[in-house]
Structure 1
Amino acid sequence: MIGTIFLLFFSISSSSYTYASLTLCRPDQRDALLEFKSEFNDEGIQGAWTSFCVTSSPKRKSWENNTDCCYWDGITCDANSGVVIGVDLSSSCLHGHFKPDSSLFRLQYLRSLNLAYNDFNASSIPTRINELTGLQRLNLSYTSFSGEIPTEILHLTKLVSLDLSSIFMYSQTLSSPRKPFLSQLAQNLTNLRQLDLSHVNLSSEMPQMMISNLTSLRSIRLHGCNLFGRFPRLSPTIRSIDLSVNPHLESSLPEFNGRKIPSSIGNLSHLNILDFGYNNLAGEIPTALFNLTKLSSLSLASNHFTGTLPHNITSLSNLNIFHAASNSFFGTVPSTFFNIPCLESLDLGDNQFSGPLEIGNISSMSKLQSLVLSKNNLTGPIPTSISKLVNLVYLDLSYLNTRGPLDVGIFWHLKSLQQLTLSHINTTIARIDLNAVLSLPLKSLSILDLSGSHVSVENMRSSVSTLLSQLIYLFLSGCGITVFPEFISSLQYISMIDLSNNSIKGQVPAWLWRLPELHYAELSYNAINGFKEFPKDVSRTMMTDLFHNASAISSRGVANNHLTGKLPDVFLNDCNLRSLNVGSKHGAQQNQRHFPILVRILTRATPTSPPLQ
């Protein structure tokens, strides 16, 4: 009997001990987290922040009193002491002012804090951030913090990763304090491996001692920071560099001759990401750059680079992205680009490349998804081997001079295409057969742009195959079209149509206004003389069906046509009509329901447009 009682007591004690060992969370840590949770709400997030907000399963939903905080979503605890060492509330719909004395600062054992993609409503970063002395990783990116970065953040000497990057479109962003912030950062945060201050207004030079002090630095991203001066010597161990959109940088690497890239860049043997886009760099690209065999992403876009691209580009066997658009490169496009096994995105648009486009023999399955060769001086037919790029999603061959008819059949096998841009193609006398384009089995195609190309609509069918019925954007501006393309009536998902700058005669067909998803129809600069049919019922229900069920037909441009007589009441009774610009002062003074020959109609204009008087 005594033995049974002892075993029962031992069993209960063991059970109690096991339960206690599973309960890690310290009460003071749990209370601090619950208080932090109450400081914000899920409502009020708007604009760009809504796309970051994961409302379906917010992390804080599991944060309940009388439960173990170490098992809450986004929380990591030390297995022995039960203190909270990690908080990850990224994309958690936090909205509101970040309190200077937030309870978060009671979690003094934190090693990792991630509050990215929340909306703190232009709050300042609290100076008490320096109380989290154990922080190794701090991510406050895309949080709408504003004002000066507190120098107290430089007391976090254990940081290995610091991300304060912000959204470029946001009017209130972070800026550096009056003192030379980058110099102080290099002196204090010597353990940094990753640094991202993109879109922080630093307005400073790059200190020469910055990289020499940060010997552990592997990734530096200072995109759009308003930097100037010379960039210091880089450590050979650096792996990722983004200095794009700093047009006042005199140089972006040491030993520059003016604004040229030096051959010494070849010493950065561990580099896998290099972005010099949108600066004012010039000169030729040193061949040493193409010896960086670990490069996966190289962007030189929107500079003043010139010269030819080497054909030994295949040495960059790990390259996924090569963007060199908007420069002055010339010569032929190296066909060796298409033999790089990992290449997924190639953009050489807006340069001075000339001669025929050669893709060569593609021996293995190409991974290329995006190809942009627009706005060059390329001539000759599109090579048939382009049909082997079966993973293409985006293709832009605008301004190509084919010097003959365009065989659209070469796109037959590109069944992953979502956007096809063949604008301003010079086919000499021949026209692009729109019927042939619409017969392509491109079931994923959502954007088709043939603007400025001569298009043939002879014997045009009245509908498209179900394979092309997913079109959302259609651009046929300046294509020499003389009649309304009837096939558009079968595009049930079409959102934007541009038929401007053609020679379309007659009346606007009634089916145009019945397209359920239409947002925008641009019909200006044609010979349109009226509306074939318009709804007679202008009740609110019909207006709702026309505008709101279609997610709002936001603009109908019919400027510079031959419209005469009375404007349909459906326009004039539209409560969403913001701007109505009649083509002359005389017409504007007439009765608003009667207009002269030239009429321009704009509905739902920009907020700066004056309301209709």
Structure 2
Amino acid sequence: MILSCSEARKMMIIWSLWLIFSNTILVVIASHSEHLCLPDQRDALWEFTNEFYVDSNVPNFEKMTEKWRNNTDCCSWDGVSCDPKTGKIVELYLETSSLNGILPDSIGNLKYLSRLGCHTCNLHGEIPSSLGNLSYLADLDLAENHFTSEGPNLQLVLPKLRSLISIYLGYNQFKVDLGRNQFSGPLEIGNISSPSKLQTLFLNDNHFNGPIPESLSKLVELESLDLSFWNKGRDIVDLREIPKRLCALFELQALDLSNNNFSGSIPRCFENFNTTLKVLHLQNNSLSGVFPEESISLGLRSLDVGHNQLSGELPKSLINCTYLEFLNVEGNRINDTFPFGVSLLPHLQVLVLRSNEFHGPVSHPRDSFSFPNLRIFDISDNRFSGVLPSDYFVGWNAVSSVVEVEDYRYGIVVAGGIRRYYYSSVVLTNKGLKMELVGSVFKMYKTIDVSRNRFEGDIPESIGLLKELIVLNMSNNAFTGCIPQSLTNLTNLQSLDLSQNRLSGEIPPQLGKLTFLERMNFSYNMLDGPIPQGTQIQSQNSSSFAENPGLCGAPLEDTCGGGGEEEATKEEQDEEKEEKEQVFSWIAAAIAYVPGVVCGLTIAYILTS
């Protein structure tokens, strides 16, 4: 189509106007994008950062702020996030940036911050009171710095920061507050006029004294509370000082009061948590009385009340905790029979009943049971008795084959979807040494310890099914019969203790071929025969085979007698006989020689005469 000059001119004008309009729109959009950060916000951020000394030897912060100098829009700066509608700075993350200095008062000018992260920033000094001006702050992480002096007290952090959900100030050098520091004196929460949004509170590893404040009960959205090692000085703090209103924290998922000197009984209101409470750690205290049924939350995954003074029976309601993975009640005075019901818990992986007053059989005469996911079974140092059936270990699948499991840790989701972990731990004996297993180390260990009880009869032949077993301790019982040949199937075994029993017969020769078996003990039995040859066995101390009158061979000094001594005696008799025959031969020759000489002389005399 051919346009006239006038029409072509009109089209050019329209096209030019469209271009001008489009460019204007783009400029407006670009201008808005370029200046998303409000000037007062940019200035406040510059004032904040200019107060720090940047160490030239630690260039992290220089690299981070290089873009800050070259771009006027602070919302595009590294570590900075703005509200896309208002342009206000709402997030500031400066982790590992080596700010080198005190946290300046000007932080309070960034009053719209909802998240502030200065984890490992080489900060020191006191935390400024202006931090309390950040009324929108929900997530505060100042952990692993060098804060000293009085630091932030909870009267500042909690009452003023009404929007606070998560706070992490651990691994500093505070003298008053929060986890893994050197805080001392009574804990002061202060007045909280309105419900707090705080979800996570770690006050562990400090030197607090006095009662746990009742005002903790006002933290109604609290999900994780860690008061372990509350008082490293071990001053007595009665657990009954814990306010009953603490049990009104219905959102609580983890409660750790371990490693203190709390006394009294376990509060009977923990069942109020219903299915929310996943972790209940009360170990290493001085708790007494009966373990109440009301203390069991159905959602428990990890329950540790070890090393207290609890008595009576285990709560029967434990069989309703279908998610339970870790159960440790060691070192108490619990007087009960074996809890057969726990074998019905489909996820149970660790069962520790050690050092109590449990008694009776551990096998049911009618019904067979198994622990399909059990990896650690420690019932040592009790008064269990009876015979273990030959099929006792059938169905212990997690110890029979390679089963991949996660660490023994329990995630609690807190602010911003961040997952914080609680680790279960237990002390076990391996190769004669006590060791504490924590977290991922659990993956490596599959152990059975039934030592120091009153078991009798044969060691079950089904023990040979547990091919992934690392530690087996059946010492200090009254087991009889022979050592089962099936033990030679345990090719991953590192420690074997069968001492202090009434075992007889020979040690299976194939045990000498278990290359991982570093420690073994067969002492104080009635074993006989030669000790198997093999590098691992020969490297053992002779005490591992002591007090077995019939055993012989290295590493014992007694050489094996039997056929060897008889052969030696026969050789000696043959040599003696040969010597006697030689003597007789010489005598006979002598006897024959004399008459021969006489006869010869006589004949010679006759012939010559």
- The TM-score, its normalising length taken from structure 1, stands at 0.60
Match of 2:535 among 478, 481, 486: 486
Aligned-residue offset at 1:194? 3.1
Structure 2: distance between partners of 1:461 and 1:246: 42
Q: Which residue of 1 aligns with 2:396?
A: 387
* Deviations, residues 315-348 of structure 1 (Å, cap 9, x unaligned): 2233343322221222222121121234344332
Query: Could you list the per-position Cα deviations for residues 139-171 of structure 1 after superposition, in whole angstroms to 9, with x for gaps in the alignment?
Result: 344556455343343563314335456469999
1:278 to partner: Cα distance: 1.8
Q: Please say if residues 318 and 342 of structure 2, whose CA atoms lie closer than 8 Å, have aligned partners that are also in contact.
A: yes
Q: How does 1:113-512 map to 2 (within 5 A)?
A: 113-116=116-119, 118=120, 120=122, 124-141=126-143, 143=145, 145-151=147-153, 152-154=156-158, 156-164=160-168, 166=170, 173-176=180-183, 180-184=186-190, 190-211=196-217, 213-226=218-231, 228-229=237-238, 230-234=241-245, 235-238=247-250, 239-240=252-253, 242-245=255-258, 247-250=260-263, 259-269=264-274, 271-272=276-277, 273-290=279-296, 292-358=297-363, 366-379=372-385, 380-381=387-388, 383-389=392-398, 391=403, 393=443, 394-400=445-451, 401=453, 402-407=455-460, 409-410=462-463, 412=465, 415=468, 419-422=470-473, 424=475, 426=477, 428-429=479-480, 437=487, 439-440=489-490, 448-451=494-497, 453=499, 459-460=509-510, 476=519, 478-480=521-523, 485-486=534-535, 502=543
- CA distance in 1: counterparts of 2:262 and 2:57, whole angstroms: 42
- Post-superposition CA distance 1:437-468 (Å, at most 9, x none): 564365xxxx833357489865357765xxxx
Q: Distance in 2 between matches of 1:527 and 1:276?
A: 47
**SS state at 2:449 partner:** coil
Tell me the percent identity: 20
What is the Cα deviation at residue 95 of structure 1? 6.2
Give distance in 1, aligned partners of 2:521 and 2:291: 38
CA distance in 2, matches of 1:397, 1:193: 39
User: Given the alignment of the two structures, is residue 99 of structure 1 paired with residue 102 of structure 2, yes or no?
Assistant: yes
How far apart in 2 are the matches of 1:266 and 1:60? Answer: 53
Q: Give the TM-score normalised by the residue count of structure 2.
A: 0.60
Paired with 1:105 and 1:169, the residues of 2 have a C-alpha distance of: 23
**Offset from partner CA, 1:253-289 (integer Å, 9 cap, x none):** xxxxxx1235444444355133222221111112223
**Take 2:536 and 2:541, find their aligned partners in 1: how far apart are those partners?**
17
Q: 1:166 to 1:30 in 2, by over 3 A?
A: closer
Residues 458 and 320 (structure 1), Cα distance of their counterparts in 2 relative to 1, 3 Å cut: closer
Letter in 2 for 1:448: Q
Name the structure 2 match of 1:602: none
SS at match of 2:230: coil
Amino acid at match of 1:279: N
Cα drift, residue 11 of structure 1: 3.5
Question: Aligned partners of 1:264 and 1:353: how far apart in 2?
Answer: 26
Report Cα offsets for 1:145-202 as digits up to 9, x if no partner: 4553433435633143354564699999534476x54342656884434322122332
- Structure-2 change in CA distance of 1:195 and 1:159 (3 Å): farther
Q: What are the Cα deviations for residues 525-580 of structure 1, in whole angstroms up to 9, with x where unaligned? A: x989xxxxxxxxxxxxxxxxxxxxxxxxxxxxxxxxxxxxxxxxxxxxxxxxxxxx
In structure 2, the CA distance between the partners of 1:437 and 1:242, relative to structure 1 (3 Å rule), is same
Inter-partner Cα distance in structure 2 for 1:109 and 1:96: 22
Post-superposition Cα deviations, 1:391-440, rounded to whole Å, max 9, x if no partner, equal 4854333243553444575463665x6x435364646356767x855643
- Structure-1 separation of matches of 2:518 and 2:494: 6
Checking the alignment, whether the CA contact within 8 Å between 2:522 and 2:545 is kept in structure 1 is no
Q: 1:169 to 1:332 in 2, by over 3 A?
A: farther
Count residues with an aligned counterpart: 458
Tell me which protein shows more helix as a share of its residues.
2
Measured in 2, the distance between the counterparts of 1:210 and 1:331 equals 36
Shift of 1:232: 0.7
Q: Which amino acid aligns with 1:388?
A: N
Higher relative contact order (CA 8 A, sep 6+): 2
Residue of structure 2 equivalent to 1:565: none
CA apart distance, 1:208: 3.5
Conservation of the 8 A alpha-carbon contact between 2:171 and 2:181: no
Contact 2:269 2:294 in 1 (8 A): yes
CA distance in 2, matches of 1:160, 1:144: 22
Provide the rounded CA distance (Å) in 2 between the counterparts of 1:119 and 1:18.
Answer: 36
User: Helix, strand or coil for the counterpart of 1:352?
Assistant: coil
Partner amino acid for 1:381? L
Which amino acid counterpart does residue 161 of structure 1 have in structure 2? I
**Structure 1: which amino acid aligns with 2:138?**
Q
Separation (CA, whole Å) in 1 of partners of 2:242 and 2:304: 18
Q: Counterparts of 1:100 and 1:488 in 2: how far apart (Å)? A: 63
Q: Residues 72 and 336 of structure 1: is their aligned pair in 2 closer, same or farther, counting only changes over 3 Å?
A: farther
Query: Structure 1 pair 60/188, CA: closer, same or farther in 2 (3 Å)?
Result: farther
C-alpha separation in 2, matches of 1:261 and 1:59: 50
CA contact (8 A) 1:223 1:244 kept: yes
CA distance in 1, matches of 2:540, 2:110: 61
Larger gyration radius, structure 1 or structure 2: 2
Whole-Å separation in 2 of the counterparts to 1:221 and 1:206: 12
> Does the C-alpha gap of structure 1 residues 205 and 458 become closer, same or farther in structure 2, counting only changes over 3 Å?
same
